[in-house]
Structures are given as C-alpha cells and as structure tokens.
C-alpha cells in the first residue's frame, strides 16, 4: 500500500470496506502486507496490526495513534517488520520506500541483488533512522493556560541561563506544582522541553548559517560546546557537523 496522500483529519474509517476485506483475505492466504508513508492507515483498517508494531510518516503519527490505538507506532523508525511470519512490513516517512523496496529485494532475491539495485538506481538506506528529520513542536492543546503562557515565554527565552528557574518564578506557582503540571501538560519535564527548543534552534542555525558549532552552542544557551555536542547527538541522533552536512542547502541552490 503506497502513501494514499490523505490528510490526517480527512481519514474516514470503514470507507474502503471491500479493499480491506480483500487485504485481509490475501493475508489469510499467506501474503506479505507492506505499507509506505501514510499507507499504513489502510492496513490499520484490517485490524491485523492490533497489538503489533508499525511505522508511519511522522507527520501522521498522532492521527494514526488516535485512529488505531491498539498499534504501537514508531514514527522515528525507517522500517518495522512484525507479525509471526514477518509478514507485516511498514515503512516510515516518504522516501523510506527505498528501504522497503531494498528490504524486499534482499528478502526474496538476496543481499547482493539488493545492493546492486541500490547502486544502479542511487537508492539509499536510511541508516541513521528518522530522528534527525523530526521537528520538535511542543504540545499546546492541553488546556492548562498557565503552563501554556510559560511555554509562550520560553519559546522566545530558552537561551537564557537557568530558564526553568526563571519560568517558575514568573509563573507564581510553587515549584513542585509547576513542574508537575508542566510535565503532565507537555509530556516532557521542563528541562527536557528547554533542551528540545535549544536543539531545534541549533538545527535551524546549522542549516541556514555558517556559524561555527561553538558559536551556535553559545547562542542557544550553552557555554560548554562539548556538552552541547553530546546533547545534540543524543536528541537528534547525529553530531552537529554531520547534521549540517546532511541538511544544509548546497551552494548552487541558494539564491
């Protein structure tokens, strides 16, 4: 099932009854079911992924989790193989269909053939996973207005020293209460949230400027660049230099 180019809010369950019945029947006769990108929504309809693992384009992860809560979804993963016969295969964001195709070729025709095809068609394995592609966006639909206003303040002040302490002081809430409510509302502890904002800003600077990693480290709020590098790698899966190399707009493409 290829990406069916749906919008998450446009997805209607039970709309493709005949197709889904057919998929289920084919599965019963031993077929391997595969999806790319948002195609997993259609496979989700079969119920075959209930209690199983799958991946989807990270942009649809929340919508998928809402529609098919029985499936464990891993949007940061490139390819997820599950089912007792390894017959339920899903691939994640957009061009991870490369990985899916190469995997299938390797599975049925051998690794050497897969490698040949990859070379001839310039297909790429996404060896580093999809974490480097993910964009952090804090949750704001939680309905806790005090925390929301703290988030708003933070989005412009994350690079100051001790942002958590400052944020708490501005909120007029007790520290214990603030931290508890912040974690509940956003799904992240205050410090973890600050780190995501800092790293996200650093990513933009790596993509769009020529600033050195040391300078970027300082600008997003870290005096110790060694610490920043370690943190960056932990959050994104890539070191800052490697990230820049991968995502920077090449010279010839700049206006």
Partner DNA sequence: ATAGTATGCCGCCAGT
Partner DNA sequence: CGACTGGCGGCATACT
Residues near DNA, by CB under 7 A: 161-165, 173-177, 179-181, 183, 189-192, 194-195, 222-224, 226-227, 231
DSSP 50: T
191: number of Cβ within 10 Å: 12
Nearer to DNA, 85 or 180 (CB): 180
Quick one: 121 or 227, whose CB is closer to DNA?
227
Please answer whether residues 3 and 94 qualify as being in contact, where contact means their C-beta atoms are separated by less than 8 angstroms.
yes
Residues 6 or more apart whose CB falls under 8 angstroms from that of 122 comprise none
Q: Which residue number, 149 or 162, has a Cβ lying nearer to DNA?
A: 162
C-alpha 103, offset from chain centre: 21
* Residues in CB range of 198: below 8 A, 6 or more apart: 158, 159, 220, 221, 222
Main-chain phi, psi angles of 72, to 5 degrees: -85, 120
Q: Is 111 exposed, middle or buried (0-12, 13-18, 19+ CB in 10 A)?
A: exposed
Q: Give dist(CA 157, CA 228) in Å, integer.
A: 18
What residue has token string 């090449």? 250
CB of 139: closest distance to DNA in angstroms?
A: 16
* Closest distance of CB 146 from DNA, Å: 8
Minimum distance, C-beta of residue 239 to DNA, in the bound complex (Å): 13
Quote the least distance from Cβ 160 to DNA, whole Å: 11
Residue 92 CA to residue 57 CA, distance in Å, equals 5
- Report the DSSP pairing between strands 88-91 and 79-82: antiparallel
**18 vs 176, which CB is nearer to DNA?**
176
Name the residue nearer to DNA (CB basis): 108 or 227. Answer: 227
Q: What is the closest distance, in whole angstroms, from the C-beta atom of residue 140 to DNA in the complex?
A: 18
8 Å CB contact between 67 and 41: yes
The pairing of beta strand 88-91 with beta strand 72-73: unpaired
Least distance between DNA and beta carbon 216 (Å): 13
| Residue with token string 């998450």 | 8
Select 180 or 246, whichever has its Cβ closest to DNA: 180
User: Toward DNA, which CB reaches closer, 139 or 181?
Assistant: 181
Least CB distance from residue 198 to DNA, whole Å?
Answer: 8
Token pair 């007790």: residue? 174
């Amino acid at each position: 099932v290829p990406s069916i180019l749906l919008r998450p809010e446009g997805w209607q369950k039970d709309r493709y009854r005949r197709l889904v019945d057919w998929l289920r029947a084919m599965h019963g006769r031993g077929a391997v079911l595969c999806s790319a990108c948002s195609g997993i929504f259609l496979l989700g309809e079969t119920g075959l992924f209930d209690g199983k693992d799958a991946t989807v384009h990270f942009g649809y992860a929340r919508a998928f989790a809402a529609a098919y809560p029985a499936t464990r979804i891993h949007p940061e993963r490139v390819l997820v193989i599950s089912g007792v016969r390894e017959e339920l295969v899903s691939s994640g964001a957009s061009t991870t269909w490369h990985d899916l195709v190469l995997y299938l070729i390797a599975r049925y025709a051998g690794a050497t053939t897969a490698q040949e095809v990859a070379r001839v068609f310039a297909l790429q394995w996404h060896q580093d996973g999809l974490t480097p592609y993910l964009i952090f966006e804090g949750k704001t639909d939680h309905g806790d207005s005090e925390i929301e206003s703290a988030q708003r303040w933070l989005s412009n002040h994350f690079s100051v020293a001790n942002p958590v302490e400052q944020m708490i002081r501005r909120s007029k809430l007790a520290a214990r209460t603030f931290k508890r409510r912040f974690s509940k509302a956003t799904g992240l502890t205050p410090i973890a949230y600050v780190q995501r904002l800092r790293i996200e800003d650093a990513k933009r600077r790596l993509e769009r400027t020529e600033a050195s990693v040391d300078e970027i480290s300082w600008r997003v709020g870290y005096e110790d660049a060694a610490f920043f590098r370690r943190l960056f790698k932990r959050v994104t899966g890539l070191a800052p230099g490697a990230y820049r190399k991968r995502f920077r707009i090449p010279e010839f493409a700049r206006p």
